[in-house]
Amino acid sequence: MSNGINRQQLFVASCLALLVTSLSFGIRAGILNKLGEDFALNAGQLATIAATAFWGFPLAVIIGGMVVDVIGMKKLLVAAFVFHLAGIVLTIFAGGFWTLFVSTLFIGIANGTVEAACNPLVAAIYPDNKTTKLNHFHLWFPGGIVLGTLIVMLLGKAGIGWQVQVGLMIIPTLIYGYLFSRLSFPVTERVASGVSTGAMYKELARPLFLFMMICMLGTAITELFTGQWIDVLLKNVIDNPLLILTLTTGVMVVGRGLAEPVVHRLSPTGVLLGSAMLATLGLYMLGHNTGNMVFVGALVFGMGVCYFWPTMLGFVAEYLPKTGAVGLNLMGGAGMLAVSLYTMFMGKRYDEILLQKLPAGASLDEYTKAAGGTEMAAALTSAKTAAGPEILNLTLFIPIVLVVAFAGLFVYMRGKQKPVLNA
């Protein structure tokens, strides 16, 4: 590391920025139903709001990936700070669907900008240990979701409104903004190694990179759609579905913290194959059980999705290093875009399933607005109890396909050495 570059402080500041990103997921997942009640929003509208963060993210991460080599990582992180702050404040003062839509878009753009800058930053400051350090960096994503869901549960029980819960995100936002403002940054690894822009884009067309980007669609949906929608899907299957999200993400924090021996023993491809198998089993258990067995399913599912995101990025950083920051950010952008589209599709599908399980000719809006304790409210609760697991079962085919894909990747990569960038 060159003089003036404090990689430990840069890493800590990056983790705080990712913490804000994950808090936005955890808190929004916890208050989604409350937003629906306060603003009379149906599942389709809630899905659109939730999905906005997922397509604001790829918009920012792809554009950020294309310009980070030119403008530098520091300027991108200043932009992330501004969008985070604006999105949080606008959410606090939201008045309905459109203000929630715009505020969530701002937060999504901020989240994507953080990844656009911090993924190549971590790869640049830890060039000899990329997959492990990306796992350590990304443990703050599930870590923040755990904190976010605990904030929602504890403050909710204390009668403190969702506006205060969202407002707490301002604190780490201000801290990471201050830290980044005073630190010096390195150039990206591709720039430091002298790999040309033309060589980078040529590398992006390699079949191996395209294969990994397609797989990223599935790993992102499996992990993030399920986590973001768990409160809605299993609200009537178990007393406190947020505990499932807390358990799942808690497992992910521990697993990513222990990434170094796991990755070194199994290799990135072995980790991805094992992850897909566990994610398939865990998702099946979540969709086919009730009571305490749901928590067992959450534990298995958490072990499955634990290494997906950072190991996918680590694989590209190690085995396709000439793709540079653009390669890493195309991976993240593709994953989040897939989650956005899938969330909107499944939100509409969820409403369709509800209508199928309600009396013929029923109006979902009328049933949603029905007072608690009425026959209509009871019918809607029964419909939701059945609809949530059905959505999980529809999603199950994705990790099944990933098992086959990663088995093929494991065989293909056996014995292959990591390429070394030209100095």
Give per-residue pLDDT as tens, 154-183: 888 888 888 898 889 999 999 999 999 999
Higher pLDDT, 64 or 216: 216
What Cα–Cα distance (Å) separates residue 277 from each residue in 112, 129, 192, 204, 397? 28, 26, 38, 28, 12
Sorting pLDDT into bands at 50, 70 and 90, what band is 244? confident
- Name, of 21-35, 107-121, 366-380, the range with top average pLDDT: 107-121
Interatomic CA distance for residues 173 and 185, integer angstroms? 19
Interatomic CA distance for residues 28 and 145, integer angstroms? 10
Sorting pLDDT into bands at 50, 70 and 90, what band is 353? confident
What's the confidence (pLDDT) of residue 143?
83
Q: What is the mean pLDDT of residues 310-327?
A: 90
What's the confidence (pLDDT) of residue 229?
67
Interatomic CA distance for residues 252 and 173, integer angstroms? 23
Average pLDDT across the chain, whole number: 85
Higher pLDDT, 381 or 226: 226
On the question of pLDDT at 241 being above 70, the answer is no
SS3 letters across 51-78: HHHHHHHHHHHHHHHHHHHHHCHHHHHH
From the CB of residue 159, how many other CB atoms can be counted at a distance below 10 Å?
A: 6
* pTM of the model as a whole: 0.79
Interatomic CA distance for residues 150 and 226, integer angstroms? 18
| 8-state DSSP, 158 | T
For a pLDDT cut of 90, what percent of the chain falls above it?
30
On the question of pLDDT at 421 being above 70, the answer is no
Task: Taking the CA atoms of 192, 195, 196 and 202 in sequence, report the sign of the dihedral they define.
Answer: negative
Q: Where are the domains of the chain?
A: 7-413
Give per-residue pLDDT as tens, 67-95: 888 888 999 999 999 999 999 999 998 88
Sorting pLDDT into bands at 50, 70 and 90, what band is 232? low
Sorting pLDDT into bands at 50, 70 and 90, what band is 234? low
- 162 CA to centre of own chain: 21
Give per-residue pLDDT as tens, 187-212: 887 877 778 888 888 999 999 999 99
Give per-residue pLDDT as tens, 246-271: 788 788 889 898 888 888 888 899 99
On the question of pLDDT at 49 being above 50, the answer is yes
Q: What is the mean pLDDT of residues 386-392?
A: 78
Cβ atoms 77, 114 nearer than 8 A: yes
Higher pLDDT, 1 or 15: 15
What's the confidence (pLDDT) of residue 84?
95
On the question of pLDDT at 327 being above 80, the answer is yes
CATH homologous superfamily of 7-413 equals: MFS general substrate transporter like domains (1.20.1250.20)
What's the confidence (pLDDT) of residue 423?
45
What's the confidence (pLDDT) of residue 110?
93
